[in-house]
Structure 1
Amino acid sequence: MTLLKNLCVLSLLLAISFTFTHAARFDIINRCPYAVWPAALPGGGRRLNPGESWPLDVPAGTKDARIWGRTNCNFDGSGRGRCQTGDCGGVVACRLSGAPPTTLAEYNLNQYQPKNLDFYDISVIDGFNVPMEFSPTSNGCTRTLRCPADKCPDAYLFPADNTKTHSCPGGTNYRVVFCP
């Protein structure tokens, strides 16, 4: 019986270890001279004053995820309110995508097993609201994407523009900077 318990505990620890091995950390940084309310699906949202950052841990296997900045937001103590751009249903912690216009950092983690790749891009298909930089910060992956203004060359401009997605090994960490 003790051997069986030990095997079960060991199996559980290995499963937990594998899950966290391929998770990703996203450091979201506001370098704008104004407050930005970053939102993330998954992840929620919060206020970042100029110079502040938000570390966000995202589970391995996350698909169709995105991070965007919201501007000119006002929320009450219960977390209800509105943003002029990127609003996600009138709440601080987003559970819905932001209303256009939004500059989007999009990603999928640990895809195409057994290759285990992350895919990332910037999209302005839904419009542009905040300058953005999206870059990997680990695993030797170095392709930085920049979108300083509407119609930037590093961003998806229309749905079939499939040359704008880049890949990194699973478990790579990333940085999203507003107003780089």
Structure 2
Amino acid sequence: MRSVALLAFFGSVLGRTFTVYNACPFTIWPAVFTDLNVGNAVPGIETGWEAAAFTKRTFNVPDNWKAGRIWGRRNCNFSTNPGPNSCLSGGCNGGLLCDSRTGTGVPPASVAEWTLNAADGLDWYDVSLVDGYNLPMRITNTASCPVADCAVDLGPDCPAPLKGPFDSTGFPVGCKV
């Protein structure tokens, strides 16, 4: 299976525009976290939402938004468990809407992370698997900078001791670190 949760960001006079595209053939629940340790600006979007297969959501962030992360959550049920274990992978404190201070995500989760307008004036971004892997992911941009991605499904090829959790069919939806 080749599917990608895509994050693209574009600069503008009024800030930046982010687009989260679910290229997976199933629903995911994207989550957004702002690193309040490096700045107090936050985007005007909720910290979590449902994204059906092949849908996108575009939102603007203030130009002084400094750092954050976006990740996808899989196999979620917020009605019976609104806490960090409400998703099979990538859940967060707060349930659907991740807590703005402690909702960074429960491993395993593939994470897009960035620092905007850093001390050197540049934007820094990457796809990180430091919290494990749960979805293919890609970051693109309009500045002709390199694409950051992990665009393959690592779940089936994950070493057996790290594989999991598993969905109801026994398919691995994550790879732990």
> Which runs of 5 or more structure 1 residues have no equivalent in the other structure?
1-19, 152-180
**Aligned ranges 1:82-121 → 2 under 5 Å:** 82-95=86-99, 96-112=103-119, 115-121=120-126
Q: Is 1:52 equivalent to 2:44 in the alignment? A: no
Partner residue of 1:66? Answer: 69
Higher strand share: 1
> 1:90, 1:75 → 2: CA distance?
10
Report the identity percentage.
Answer: 35
Instruction: Tell me by how many angstroms 1:59 deviates.
Output: 1.9
Structure-1-length-normalised TM-score: 0.63
Q: What is the aligned counterpart of 1:37 among 20, 29, 37?
A: 29
C-alpha deviations, 1:66-120, integer Å up to 9, x for none? 000000001239x9361111111242111210000010000111122xx532110
Instruction: Tell me by how many angstroms 1:146 deviates.
Output: 1.9
Q: Conserved in 1, the CA contact under 8 Å of 2:31 and 2:48?
A: yes
The one-letter code of the counterpart of 1:39 is: A
Q: What is the aligned counterpart of 2:132 among 122, 127, 137?
A: 127
> 2:139, 2:96 → 1: CA distance?
22
> 1:103, 1:64 → 2: CA distance?
17
The CA RMSD over aligned residues, in Å, is 2.4
Q: Say how many residue pairs are matched.
A: 127
> 2:97, 2:71 → 1: CA distance?
12
Q: Conserved in 2, the CA contact under 8 Å of 1:100 and 1:126?
A: yes
Structure-2-length-normalised TM-score: 0.64
| Structure of larger gyration radius | 1
> 1:60, 1:149 → 2: CA distance?
33
> 1:22, 1:132 → 2: CA distance?
27
Partner residue of 2:38? Answer: none
Higher helix share: 1
> Which runs of 5 or more structure 2 residues have no equivalent in the other structure?
1-11, 35-44, 156-177
Instruction: Tell me by how many angstroms 1:29 deviates.
Output: 0.5
